[in-house]
Structure 1
């Protein structure tokens, strides 16, 4: 079946959590899933931003089922309470999308002493999946969709300096945090299959998604006409964040998607409709995956889907 990004299949009766669904690519993932009937839960640490996102979605989709759960991935200790607030017995999918990219030269930490980008983009999601596992397993065939990044292609993890304590560079640290997410997702696939669990782990990435090429949404995203015009020459290679959401939406909804697959934009991995990609070897190496899992489990006191 040819996949139509503008007319995905209906998702009535499904419940999907999107972390960071209050803005950026996460907002458009939430909007597109709500447009086909999914009950969408926006996980966000900002009630005000989540409320603005819900209003924007409801304006475009009058019958949208969208709600907010307070979710702070930088605070691992708060996650059990956040999961309890979901008030659902089962969860059909979670999109691990929330993230931050710092460009300041000073390394920042959360209250546990974890480097902030790694903590938000990866460690928090690892712990969240741990706490969500019972709700995901309760669904017939739940999907855990991890949002990776094109930036991860050229990075390599230093497991001896996972938190960039010795060698901090904001751009590299961000890329490594996204690579850690992707390595985790491939390792999660291997573990789920060994367990015979019906959940699947799928990886998606948005390609090159620019604010200036993103359509406006009231209260969520505005763009100046000048910025949009200046960005038009880049449309040959890049796209807006609405299009950046397409890969994740397909990973959630396409019945032909399989566990352990990587989905990204068709044109050079940067723009276009989503297609199946071949991941880089350093993303799928089982030894690295196992070692990263052990290190992360120790840092977060969690172990997703452990027997």
Structure 2
């Protein structure tokens, strides 16, 4: 009896040797600074088209200039994107000028350190509105582009801060007993629950789009390489912070889980990628889901509440992609 052909082996993932991605298009929210900048820079190095979603055109322009200076010939663009203004997100997606999208990295976020509690003009708590609801609504508007692209990916960036928090479905917007750090952690936990609930819904309809969860671990500016003008690290700062590399890392390394989630053909939906060493630093790997991330009833309640608060419902089907393609002449 003839033997079965050998199963192809996927080579180990190498953060320094990324696969080529010419002809593909990626959107990175908050790609003008911090971890998002390094996600965009690394993806640009693969030959893909990378779009920075950012409120600030000047900062996005500086980020694009920095990327192009390090990646000659990089195709990097900017689209105005304000995740706190949910009514504007449809126009932002139209401004992409694309008829397909291979991946979106939900990276942008806002963190407030001190009271008072702040609200958007729609009356939503600012961190919850930006970090979770904004990405939820953006996914709704991107669904036709993603559905039109077989194997597309929605990569959602969580946070280690969410590991010790629990969501209160009856007070999602921290109306009672507002504490900024807790409200931030809960907004990131909401993002993470959204990513996993989205995966369940994608699988239920047989979509080829993947929803992948990542968290960057511990990332410090002082360990991050300089990218003037928006980040400059002095030699003295670098040397004084070197011992911290045993525990945490720079934002360039913190970008690795998201970049792998976008590019690695072996990545599966509903998984979480995180730094290898205690979830804080190192090369990205698949990490078991934290126990409270498997709370499907809370995730379902969060989804329903998010639909009500944003008047959107991220739905994927073969028909949505076909409608957008017919209606786009570019």
TM-score when normalising by structure 2: 0.92
The aligned counterpart of 1:232 is 242
**What is the deviation of 1:227?**
2.9
Structure 1, residues 130-158: CA drift from partner, whole Å, max 9, x if none? 00000000001100000011111111001
Alignment equivalent of 1:64, drawn from 46, 66, 74: 74
> Residues of 1 paired with 2:233 and 2:121: CA distance?
34
Q: Is the 8 A contact 2:144 2:316 kept in 1?
A: no
Residue in 2 that maps onto 1:18:
28
1:204 pairs with 2:204? no
Shift, 1:50, TM fit: 0.3
Distance 2:291 2:204 in 1: 21
Contact 2:215 2:257 in 1 (8 A): yes
The answer on whether the counterparts of 1:204 and 1:263 sit within 8 Å (CA) in structure 2 is yes
Distance in structure 1 (CA, Å) of the matches to 2:143 and 2:85: 19
Q: Is residue 111 of structure 2 the alignment partner of residue 79 of structure 1?
A: no
Give 2:111's aligned residue: 101
> Equivalents in 1 of 2:122, 2:291: separation in Å?
32
Question: Take 1:262 and 1:148, find their aligned partners in 2: how far apart are those partners?
Answer: 9
Structure 1, unmatched stretches of 5+, are none
CA RMSD of aligned residues (A): 0.9
Give the equivalent residue in structure 2 for 1:169: 179
User: Is residue 252 from structure 1 mapped to residue 262 from structure 2 by the alignment?
Assistant: yes
Distance 1:219 1:42 in 2: 17
Where do 1:212-223 residues align within 5 Å? Answer: 212-223=222-233
Correspondent of 1:123 among 118, 127, 133? 133
Question: Scaled by the length of structure 1, what TM-score is found?
Answer: 0.98
Q: CA deviation at 1:306?
A: 5.9
CA distance in 1, matches of 2:245, 2:94: 43
Report the CA distance between 1:231 and its aligned residue.
Answer: 1.9
Whole-Å Cα distance in 1 between the matches of residues 301 and 207 of structure 2?
Answer: 22
**For structure 1, which segment, 216-225 or 56-65, has the greater mean C-alpha deviation from structure 2 after superposition?**
216-225
1:192 aligned to 2:202?
Answer: yes
Q: CA deviation at 1:223?
A: 1.9
Q: Is the partner of 1:63 in helix, strand or coil? A: coil
**Which residue pairs with 1:302 in the alignment?**
312
Q: Cα distance, 1:102 vs. partner? A: 0.7
Structure 1 residue corresponding to 2:49, chosen from 18, 28, 39: 39
CA distance in structure 1 between the aligned counterparts of 2:231 and 2:293, rounded to whole angstroms: 32
Larger radius of gyration: 2
Aligned partner of 2:144 in structure 1 is: 134
Deviations 1:49-104 (A, max 9, x none): 00000000000011100000000001001001001000000100000000011101
2: CA distance, partners of 1:227 / 1:112: 42
How many residue pairs get aligned? The number is 307
Closer, same or farther: CA 253–205 of 1 in aligned 2, 3 Å: same
